[in-house]
Amino acid sequence: MEVEKRMTVRNYAKASISNYCRELKFLFAYYQDVSPYLITDQMIITYLHFIIREHGVGRVKCRMVAHACSYYFKHILQCPYYTPKHIYPRKKFTLPDVFRISEIKYLLKSCQNVREKCMVALLYGTGVRCSEFLHLKIRDIDLEKNRILVRHGKGGRDRFVVFPQSLAELLQVYLEKYEPVKYVFEGKDAGKPMSNTSLRLILRKLSQERYSESG
């Protein structure tokens, strides 16, 4: 797809490229007998109404569809089209679900080894995104200044986050025992980061153990 080529050349994040291409494929499949040049705002509204009604999607999904359409029409077809903000569902102002301190303690207690404990402590102690966490390199952790350099975060920008000093000893123990080569947490292949699937499986297992124990 031309969208993938153009976004790759312009150095868009892999996740953004994948999301845009996926949403456009779904939209064009829905209007398979209609040329993309003839798709209108009203037709996109009809499509959004369909996926909301039939699949129960939320505001984030609808925004993704709108942004994907905007990119395609402006940069690929080069015809006037702007992100139709008026078709976004109204935002719900709800507080996010967060772990209580007691729940974090239970989660740490469920860890079966120092690696799992270090993962949970570092993930929640720094607040970085999962994708950023998986690509943390050993050299980017500055224990003297208590900070971590997060490379190529959201929007492709680098930034520093605070490294909790209380985790320094745990991290040192983990590094000495497991001896990762490049990334703080690596998969089966040395020098390569752990996969997102592996991380989520570990966190899901610990969460299930935590709720099983508390229940």
Tell me: pLDDT of 214 over 60: no
pTM: 0.57
Tell me: pLDDT of 73 over 90: no
Tell me: pLDDT of 99 over 90: no
pLDDT at 172: 94
pLDDT, average across residues 87-111: 68
CATH class of 2-87: mainly alpha
Mean pLDDT of the chain: 84
Domain chopping of the chain, boundaries: 2-87, 101-214
pLDDT, average across residues 18-23: 93
Tell me: pLDDT of 93 over 80: no
Tell me: pLDDT of 156 over 80: no
pLDDT tier at 100, thresholds 50, 70, 90: confident
Q: What fold does the segment set 101-214 form as a domain?
A: hpI Integrase; Chain A (1.10.443)
pLDDT tier at 79, thresholds 50, 70, 90: confident
Whole-Å CA distances, 24 to 29, 30, 68, 73: 8, 10, 6, 11
Q: Are the C-beta atoms of residues 160 and 151 closer than 8 Å to each other? A: no
pLDDT at 97: 62
pLDDT at 210: 53
